[in-house]
A and B are shown apart, each in its own frame.
Chain A
Amino acid sequence: MNIIEIKDVEKTYHDNGVPVHALRGVTMTVERGEFLVIAGPSGSGKTTLLNVLGALDTPTKGKVYLEGEDLSTKSRNEIASIRLHKLGFVFQAYNLIPVLSALENIEFTMMLRGIPEKERHERAMALMEELDIAELADKRPNEMSGGQQQRVAVARAMVNDPSIILADEPTANLDTKTGANLLDLMQRMNEEKNLTFVFSSHDPQVI
């Protein structure tokens, strides 16, 4: 079954009045359980495509369907709700909430969903143990290494059982070994839990 389907998507930015075509007529589908990499050199539109797939950006032209629903018909609040319930994001710069501990960062999206404190605590701890990051529970982002932060970010993206996890250059800020470990982790989650991953990378080693 298609989780995401995009049809003839175009995205044009205007840079000082000069149109910049980031996406031109992209059509693609992402199926459940896929482990998909969007590869290409810098400036090729990978991040723009991921943003469109993740309902963070609206296409200039074309349609985006998430589990059959046309995103262009949704309000800002409905889109936020879709992002909360169906999508998980991993960012290149980790983007954890700096004032929260690793555990609280993972719990945060469950809090947004209204899950009771006890349940979200148990679920977050269980996931941290599964990802071998339980010892980071009380650490704040500034007390963790890049690799550790990115593993917490993966846990945050996974914890709500989303339909798909979108990761924008998740290994770009990590050294080769840490990046490989992270990819292993994502691949393991894909295989064990049938989680769908779409991530972008310009690193030939990753590809």
Chain B
Amino acid sequence: MLFTIAWRNIWRNKRRTLIVLSSVVVGVVALIMNDSLSIGMIRQMFENQLGSHVAHMQIHKRGFNDNKVIQSVVPDQKRVEEALRSTPEVKYFSRRVVTFGLVSSAINSSGAAIIGVEPDREPNITIIKKSIIEGRYLSGASHEVVIGKKMADKLSVGIGDKIVGMASTVSGAVGSDMFRVVGIFRTVSSEFDKSYVFISLGNAQEMLELGKDVSEFAIILRDRGLVEMVKSKIAARLGANYEVLSYADLMPLILAQMQMYKESMFIVYIIIGLALIFGIINATLMSVFERMQEFGVLMAIGMKNSRLFYMIMLEALVIGVLGTVVGMVVGLAMYLPLSAYGIDLSMFSESLTSFGVGSTIYPVLTLQSIVGILIVIPVFAVLGALYPALKAIRLEPVSAIRYV
């Protein structure tokens, strides 16, 4: 019966209830959109880095990741290949030479990460081949280069133009070679597009006097979730001369960002919750003051304070739950199409691509977010009713009945 009373009381002043409900609904929708957009953005950033270069795992000579010098080469490629081939969780792998140098055209020059790749294997590892917007990917023929759109713009080169790559060789001399641009790629990260160039592994080894040596193995697993297990397995097999790194080891910044985001979400929850609390305090206070006489009568006919307190809190809880459910339905109705088709933010594409996100954001709503919202908002609604409820039960029945 108390629920019936609470429910009917809520609808005594429909306009006020609808205003409070709307604020709860807007709060829930704001949380859903904020959560899903932010998670979507960070995930896209993460996936893009993973797909453009990092892969699920990398194997180097120990110390390479901290100090990427060209002399630091994988000690025994055969051993690594055997380890990878005998690990069923490994889906693809590819060898790379990684160095940093200078690329120049007749007009301009730019610092770049020069990556020597196996043209037949690398497309299984990264999205560069799929990101070609002009020309084609490396064929395996000699002296071909694929560069990013930003780099092409900076060097003022197009398909068929020549550029010169320069970098330190193993002996410490400066190695250089001329390459013909066969493809221009564009990923969602403009930073990546202006700083990476891809040549064939053979050309890189030749230019840098590496012989048959390589800097790293990039690996894609059948299931990314198994990365830590596979990493330990392969690391144990290869021994101390090698470093086996997971994407988490290779992209600590993005993972830290994801963690930081989770923590900052807590603050957003508090801010939206506080806004809700004040709305609910206001509405509940008005409702309590309007019904002071009624509460006096309820106390006079024997209602205990605890029950009266519960009744007022129940009203706020019902509004909180109702608003959260409606907000969740509205939020999901907005979220589902957006998560499928993405949100086109091309007007901010300059800043978004510099963060490696892309101009279309696909929001991602996690179960954790849904559960969090379903719990947090009703709790805030109840907290908002705390003060008015305490105020009501502190009154003496006789003063409440006389309350004007």
Contact = CB atoms under 8 A, between A and B. Distances in A.
B396 A57 contact: yes
Contact of B5 (A80, A99, A113): A99
A84 interface: yes
Contacts of B12: 98-99
Interface stretch (B37-45, B56-64, B70-78, B290-298): B290-298
Contacts of A77: 304-306
B401 interface: yes
Describe B's contact surface by its main secondary structure.
Answer: helix
A156 to B, nearest CB: 7
A91 B297 contact: yes
A112 interface: yes
A85 B302 contact: yes
Nearest to A85: B302
Contacts, number: 68
Contacts of B298: 97
The CB with the most chain B CB atoms within 10 A, among A80, A104, A107, A156, is that of: A80
Given A56-B397, A91-B297, A91-B401, A97 B303 contact: no
Contact of B301 (A57, A83, A107): A83
Contact of A107 (B1, B302, B397): B1
B5 A112 contact: no
B398 A80 contact: no
A67 B196 CA distance: 94
Contacts of B303: 80, 84, 112
A124 B120 CA distance: 87
Interface in A81-116: 81, 83-85, 87, 89, 91, 95, 97-100, 104, 107-109, 111-113
Interface string A23-59: 0000000000000000000000000000100101100
B373 interface: no
Contact of A97 (B294, B305, B396, B398): B294
Contacts of A83: 299-302
B233 interface: no
A89 B294 contact: no
B302 A95 contact: no
Given A56-B397, A109-B302, 13 more contacts: A51-B398, A56-B401, A57-B398, A81-B304, A83-B299, A84-B303, A89-B301, A91-B300, A91-B401, A97-B297, A99-B8, A100-B8, A113-B302
Interface of A: 51, 54, 56-57, 76-77, 80-81, 83-85, 87, 89, 91, 95, 97-100, 104, 107-109, 111-113, 156
14 contacts: A56-B300, A56-B396, A76-B305, A77-B305, A80-B303, A84-B301, A84-B303, A85-B302, A89-B300, A91-B401, A99-B8, A108-B1, A109-B301, A112-B303
